[in-house]
Chains A and B, each alone.
Chain A
Amino acid sequence: MSDVAVSAQSITKIFGPTEGGLRALDDVSVDIRTNEFFTLLGPSGCGKTTLLRMIAGFETPTFGSIILDGKDITTDPPFRRPVNTVFQSYALFPHLTVAQNVGFGLEMRGKQKSEIGAAVAEVLALVRMEQMAERYPSQLSGGQQQRVALARALAPRPSVLLLDEPLSALDLKLRKQMQIELKRMQLETGITFIFVTHDQEEALTMSDRIAVMSAGRILQIGAPREIYNAPANRFVADFIGESNFLPAEVEGPAAVKLGNGASAPAAMPDGLGAGTRVTVAVRPEQIDVCPEAEGILSGTIAELVYFGTDMHAHIDLGDGATLVARVTARSDAGLEKGGRTGIRFATGALRVVEETA
């Protein structure tokens, strides 16, 4: 078995006429490794679900091919592909019990009754729904239906499990709990998970690797930390977590000159000559407030937004730019709306990002 589970090769999908139709995916290539938890992350309409549906076989690419475990499956119908899907709406069969739903895939594959029974019991135990085997979907809560949908897709032991925003209908608390459980199930079963979501926190929590998508293209592929700490461009920096963007000028190999003329160290790609106008990104939690005289920048506090553990201080720099700094609620002493404050950046906080077109 190769260590690439699914390989999408130069996938383009055009809905409508090939000339002038809607380009949902534009020359997308990605290799998803065996046993990894891979997330396709992006805003709605970025093509992530279309890509997932192509791996499942519900859509055919206009150009390009899908390789599963070394075999070209681009034109195989869904029922011949050893992949299973957890649908956003769960799509449980309303006329079948939980056990019949979960056993459906195995039954269609012509397995013996006894084998199906054992597999159903095992996978229901995995999702902690053993007690509900004889119920009908309409008798279950949303969270329970979610677990059954997961069990049904896992029961045939697919080589790849596809999850299409399966947590989006759950409330926050249940969602957080399911994130942890999904990760546990992925580790226990050793099945490759491909997860689609628009929720960046969900992606960061569970994934081994994330592909950030926008407008039919993959902008960056990497581990959660990598994506968060070293976003490839402005879109990624903005979409994953929160970022402030400041105009700056390259001063040297690892330093920029900010709007007020102060120079600061910044990570940047190679090959940027001094004097190039660039954008630097900085995370709110990488900004420290300090007395005005000690800061590298200074500004007026335009707004203080309190949200429990932290506060966001919106600081007007006076040159049209506003920075958002995250201040822990304990250390907010001295900050008040309309007051002056200094700003310092944590080490490695500034990063030059490519402007996205």
Chain B
Amino acid sequence: MAERARKSFSVRQLPGVTPITMACFAALYAPIVIIVIYSFNAGDSVALWQGFSFRWYAIAAENELVQEATVRSLVIALWASGISTVLATMAALGTTRTAKFPGSTFIYVMINQPLMVPEIVTAVALLIFFASIKVATGYSGLGYLILAHSAFCVPFAYLPIRARLEGMDRTLEIAAADLYATPWQTFRRVTLPLVLPGIVAGAMLAFVISLDDVIITEFVKSAGQDTLPTYMLGQLRRAVTPEVNAISTALLGLTILLLTAFFLLTGRGNDKKP
């Protein structure tokens, strides 16, 4: 019955749906495809094809600034995703495993605030805030970037973890308590293993978001603290070579890998639900 009902109306039967869909996909992906193609260009141009080569990948890989920026990006992303995931897990437990209390909606909004406040506002605020700390402490290491990234990564980690917690049968935790598990044992032996796919998914999403950030990084970083995206931005201001295309393509590859893993994890999680 349900099969037939679904077949009786299909969006695909509407006139023009296929061409519009194709146009949308083309607008979204054609520029990316072109970037990827020109990363393999043998010549110096990003617009004129002169034959296939891995030349620019080799140049990018040997560029010390790129190497440093890559390491810096990965270090920041690892720390930021780690810190934000721990915070997001605690926040998700706090907002799903307690009785509804006055102000819980307000807290929910506050947790997700970085998704709504314009990033440039956060960037300027952090710039001013960190500047005064720098003056007071004299510290100017990567810590500021890690803190800033951790802050805006929290909602990205929070949402999949919360979704997973909400989808979980609460009777399981009650059953654990009934079987003499203390609240900590219940968390450790029942809640955590069942929410783990959500936590891993949240961490990966946070990692990708951190890896990708330009605006806040650009404002917060000290001299010589370029991450991969801010390095690329700096390069574009000078001469545009297919080296940027090569770095973009590598970054794209990593992101696709992580996002695929994210969807596999969350997708499998949904299948398991009864």
Contacts and interface: CB of A to CB of B under 8 A. Distances in A.
B174 A104 contact: no
Given A87-B175, A95-B193, A105 B180 contact: yes
Given A89-B169, A91-B169, A94-B272, A79 B182 contact: yes
B174 A108 contact: no
Interface of A: 56-58, 77-80, 83-85, 87, 89, 91, 93-95, 104-105, 108-109, 138, 152-153, 156
Contacts of A93: 172, 175-176, 190
Given A93-B190, A94-B272, A95-B193, A87 B171 contact: yes
B169 A108 contact: no
B194 interface: yes
The majority secondary structure among interface residues of chain A is mixed
Nearest to B175: A91
8 contacts: A58-B174, A58-B178, A77-B177, A87-B175, A91-B171, A93-B176, A104-B179, A108-B176
The majority secondary structure among interface residues of chain B is helix
A87 B177 CA distance: 13
Contacts of A109: 180
Contacts of B189: 104
B178 A95 contact: no
Contacts of A78: 174, 177-178
Interface string B164-199: 000001011011111111100100011001100000
Given A79-B182, A94-B272, A104 B169 contact: no
A140 to B, nearest CB: 13
Contacts of B177: 57-58, 77-79
Nearest to B174: A58
A80 B182 CA distance: 9
Contact of B185 (A56, A77, A91, A108): A108
Contacts of A153: 178-179
A105 B176 CA distance: 8
Contacts of B169: 89, 91
Contact of B194 (A58, A87, A95): A95
A85 B169 CA distance: 16
Contacts of A138: 272
When A and B form their complex, which 10 residue pairs have the shortest distance between CB atoms, in order from nearest? A105-B179, A91-B175, A108-B180, A91-B171, A78-B177, A108-B181, A85-B178, A95-B193, A79-B180, A79-B177
Contacts of A83: 178
A83 B175 CA distance: 11
Nearest to B196: A95
A156 B180 CA distance: 9
A84 B178 contact: yes
A313 B177 CA distance: 52
A322 to B, nearest CB: 40
B272 A156 contact: no
B97 to A, nearest CB: 14
A320 B172 CA distance: 53
Contacts of A57: 177-178
A94 B169 CA distance: 10
A104 B180 CA distance: 9
B180 A56 contact: no
Nearest to B177: A78
- Of the candidates B169, B174, B194, the one having the most CB atoms from chain A within 10 angstroms of its own CB is B174
B171 A89 contact: yes
A85 B185 CA distance: 18
B181 A79 contact: yes
Contacts of B182: 79, 108
